[in-house]
A = this chain, B = another copy of it.
Amino acid sequence: MNQAGSKAVAVVLLSGGLDSATAASWARQKGYFLVALSLDYGQRHRVELECARHIAADLGITDHVVLPIDLTAFGGSALTDPQIPVPRGRSPATMAQGIPATYVPARNTVFLSLALAMAETRGAEAIVLGVNAIDYSGYPDCRPEYLDAFQSLAGLATKMGVEGRPVSILAPLVKLAKADIIRLGLNLGVDYGLTSSCYDPDPTGRPCNQCDSCRLRAAGFAAAGAIDPRLTAI
């Protein structure tokens, strides 16, 4: 099924952003053989999929599925409905006060369920994702208690779970501040110039520098005392 050899296989949910690139590098450093899944879900920031391809190549991942799943069929989010504007200019304190318009209904559940399907067909021991619940936009499906519930579900949902080999849901960044994530990634050699975080980039992929995701990223690089290479990469 793959060239993992004696290594344990992990499915990495690779969005093309800073966090998932860091989580993928973390998993590789832990010794996992990586396969990757990216979702083409109708996001307005489709440029992240091109980034995901570059990150996968940079990590030597050859089994990278980019799966179309049209969440615009449901709508209800600024990321999948062009009529709903992306919030701009919010402070991190404001972001922590509620669930913003960029929340995509059930997105991480959809993504994790597809990662679970891929994990079972690849014989993977783990699913790795870059969610974090410190410097984030208040999405319910980024919280540790949500991930614990998905871990319980995964054990019951699959043949491998029934057979006593449930997949492990690994979210190594869940309790890290953005600056700590960036420090970790820089130590691991992540090329952040390949990553894109902006929710609403221009057609060339240039970040807006005003959405929650841009602002969290900028604050993180500042706090880590590092320069964001993405700002000069495109």
Chain A: residues with CB nearer than 8 A to chain B?
A: 65, 67-71, 73-76, 99, 103-110, 112-114, 116-118, 120-121, 140-141, 143, 145-146, 149-150, 152-154, 156-159, 161-162
Contact = CB atoms under 8 A, between A and B. Distances in A.
A28 to B, nearest CB: 22
B141 A146 contact: no
A110 B113 contact: yes
Given A106-B113, A113-B113, 10 more contacts: A69-B69, A74-B118, A106-B117, A107-B117, A109-B153, A110-B110, A110-B114, A143-B156, A145-B156, A149-B149
Taking chain A's interface residues, is the majority helix, strand, or loop, or is none over half, making it mixed?
A: helix
Contacts of A75: 121
B140 A162 contact: yes
Contact of A117 (B110, B117, B159, B162): B110
Contacts of A153: 109, 146, 149-150, 152-153
Contacts of A161: 140
Contacts of A113: 106, 109-110, 112-113
A18 B224 CA distance: 58
A2 B113 CA distance: 28
A64 to B, nearest CB: 11
A120 B146 CA distance: 17
30 contacts: A65-B74, A67-B69, A67-B70, A68-B68, A69-B69, A74-B120, A74-B121, A75-B121, A76-B120, A99-B159, A105-B116, A105-B121, A106-B113, A106-B114, A106-B116, A106-B117, A109-B117, A109-B157, A110-B116, A112-B113, A140-B157, A141-B156, A143-B156, A145-B156, A146-B157, A149-B149, A149-B156, A150-B153, A152-B152, A152-B153
A140 B165 CA distance: 13
Given A68-B68, A70-B67, A74-B117, A105 B149 contact: no
A157 B120 CA distance: 22
Report the 7 A-B pairs with minimum CB-CB distance, sorted nearest first: A76-B121, A105-B120, A106-B117, A109-B113, A106-B116, A113-B113, A149-B153
